[in-house]
Amino acid sequence: MTKLPSLYAFPDSSTLQQNLYQYILQAQSDALARHPKFKIAVSGGSLPKLLASPVLLASRDIHWGKWEIFFADERAVPLTDPDSNYALLKQELLDKIPKTASEPTVHPIDPEMLSDTQDLADAYEKALIGSFAAKDSVKLPIFDLLLLGCGPDGHTCSLFPGHGLLREEDAWVAAIEDSPKPPPRRITLTLPVVTHALKIAFVATGAGKKEVMRKIFDTHPEAEGGEVLPCALVNLGAGDKVSWFCDQAAVEGVSFSKKSSL
């Protein structure tokens, strides 16, 4: 039997943040029991703000110095640009980490490579190889945790519905020049890297997500050979390694049976 993702719906964002914090804490302790670093990747969008909860920032159980943070996707813009996911994470989370704590290792894109997105993606893949292992010794990197968003069209990272990048099998990091969500030039982790992670958390809030949530959880285009949305491809590929942290508004009308209020 296929193992299904978990879908949690919380009454408000502070309860969601509390539960996301507990989940991250567990992922951190699982990871640090296996190796010295907690290797994660994060998206842009609304995720960094929800991630940076007061409970997470005040916690003495978060070992920031052992965190190694990559970007699940990044826009090909300077690191100080308002469109940069790095700038967003810095503003929402990194700058708020208590000064008394050790600093996490953060892997931004190389701002010298912005003129060619393929070079940018290749350089980012090299950073992954440096942290995980050479590509000839491991088929794919294994992140301890991915923290992802879900777009209203069902995209995640910079993997968009119907895009050829969804079929990428070799690259760990791919370039995209025609992102339908601006800005168009980006890099992204590929689908095999996403589904290979040990844990994957999606965070989706607000009524603007309810239509796509119904499509992701309550329709099964794969059964008829139809087009499957990128977020649903992650559910299919990673099964019970996936947990969705949502509010009530985002899951209104979703009838998926593993829905839980935790």
Ligand X SMILES: O=C(O)[C@H](O)[C@@H](O)[C@H](O)[C@H](O)COP(=O)(O)O
CA dihedral 137, 131, 37, 82 (to 10 degrees): -140
Give the nearest distance from C-beta 150 to ligand X in angstroms. 6
Residue 149 lies near ligand X (rule: CB under 6 A): yes
Interacting residues of 164 by C-beta distance below 8 A, sequence separation 6+: none
CA distance 176 to 88: 20
- Residue nearer to ligand X on the CB measure, 27 or 203: 203
Residue 190 lies near ligand X (rule: CB under 6 A): no
- Residue nearer to ligand X on the CB measure, 41 or 63: 41
For 201, phi then psi, to 5°, come to -115, 125
Among 37, 90, 126, 181, binds ligand X (CB under 6 A): 181
Whether the ω angle into residue 152 lies within 30 degrees of 0, i.e. cis, is no
Give the nearest distance from C-beta 190 to ligand X in angstroms. 14
Q: Which segment (31-39, 41-49, 189-197, 242-250) binds ligand X by CB under 6 A?
A: 41-49
DSSP state of 261: -
- Here the tokens at position 128 are 């992954």
The strand pair at 73-75 and 186-189 is best described as antiparallel
For residue 138, the cross-strand partners are: none
Residue matched to tokens 């980490």: 97
Q: Which segment (57-65, 121-129, 143-151, 215-223) binds ligand X by CB under 6 A?
A: 143-151
Give the nearest distance from C-beta 149 to ligand X in angstroms. 2
Whether the ω angle into residue 78 lies within 30 degrees of 0, i.e. cis, is no
CA distance 33 to 22: 17
Q: Which segment (3-11, 38-46, 131-139, 234-242) binds ligand X by CB under 6 A?
A: 38-46
Residue 46 lies near ligand X (rule: CB under 6 A): yes
Residue 117 lies near ligand X (rule: CB under 6 A): no
CB 47 within 8 A of CB 148: yes
- Residue nearer to ligand X on the CB measure, 32 or 237: 237
CB half-sphere exposure, 10, CA atoms < 13 A:
17
Residue type (1 letter), 35 = H
Among 7, 39, 45, 254, binds ligand X (CB under 6 A): 45
- Residue nearer to ligand X on the CB measure, 155 or 241: 155
Q: Which segment (13-21, 39-47, 135-143, 211-219) binds ligand X by CB under 6 A?
A: 39-47
Give the nearest distance from C-beta 74 to ligand X in angstroms. 7
The residues of the shown chain that bind ligand X, judged by CB under 6 A, are 43-47, 73, 85, 149-151, 155-157, 181
